[in-house]
Structure 1
């Protein structure tokens, strides 16, 4: 089996329900004990309508989105994200992405532009560089590079 990756390829969207449990568990797992991530009353006292997701949980969900697409043996080389609208409980974050660069070689790599939106706007924007997995015995991963002089989309 051959899997080809091309600049412009869209990754399928991933919708993540934003539960209170996900937000609190993500904060605890990343040792972020700031009260705005687990205590609704404290969050309101600080001007937020509710608890909200921390950046490390968002970073992990972006990584999951990439490995869900490229497979469990894909390696995240670099994840650079910027947060926007907060993720509050009861909403849904929809991650989308497209390949912006591919590099042949050993190992082959792809760069993916990722965005995540929720009911109030854009939660996350980022770029992920991923080392593409070897597909296994007898299978190959191909990189479709633009022809010389052609513009990548």
Structure 2
């Protein structure tokens, strides 16, 4: 597998390349609807403001999916995500950019733990850890 990472080819402290994700209104609405999250704060700006937000904002299912995409893009097609544990902070609003970063914090045989963080103009949107199962072999 070209570009695939292996458990033997990663070490604690390895940094993942940053991934900048433009947060468009269309993306926020479409991903909320695609995940069957019909809460009005994810698609109706007037109701979001009425409920105390400055605008619509991204739902947690989308954030979880973007964290998964970030990790699997780095890890390669042989990786299996075993656990994603994240916490949300500042909202992701339309017109901003979320930049995901991460690093390897533990390697235990084939299991690799990654610390991930996503920041936008307001601060930390998401942080947590992801455990992936990587194949063995040389990178």
TM-score by length of 2: 0.92
Per-residue CA distance 1:15-57 (angstroms, 9 max, x = gap): 0000111111111111110000000011011011100000000
- CA radius of gyration, larger in: 1
Between the aligned partners of 2:118 and 2:51, the Cα distance in structure 1 is 25
Q: Which runs of 4+ in 1 moved over 2 A?
A: none
Aligned residues: 134
Structure 2 partner of 1:115: 117
Structure 2 partner of 1:6: 11
TM-score by length of 1: 0.83
Unaligned 5+ residue runs, structure 1? 135-139, 143-153
**Is the 8 Å Cα contact of residues 70 and 133 (structure 1) preserved in structure 2?**
no
Between the aligned partners of 2:50 and 2:20, the Cα distance in structure 1 is 30
Matched, 1:23 2:25: no
Unaligned 5+ residue runs, structure 2? none
Mapping 1:1-150, distance limit 5 Å: 4-104=9-109, 108-133=110-135, 140-141=137-138
Higher helix share: 2
Between the aligned partners of 1:41 and 1:25, the Cα distance in structure 2 is 17
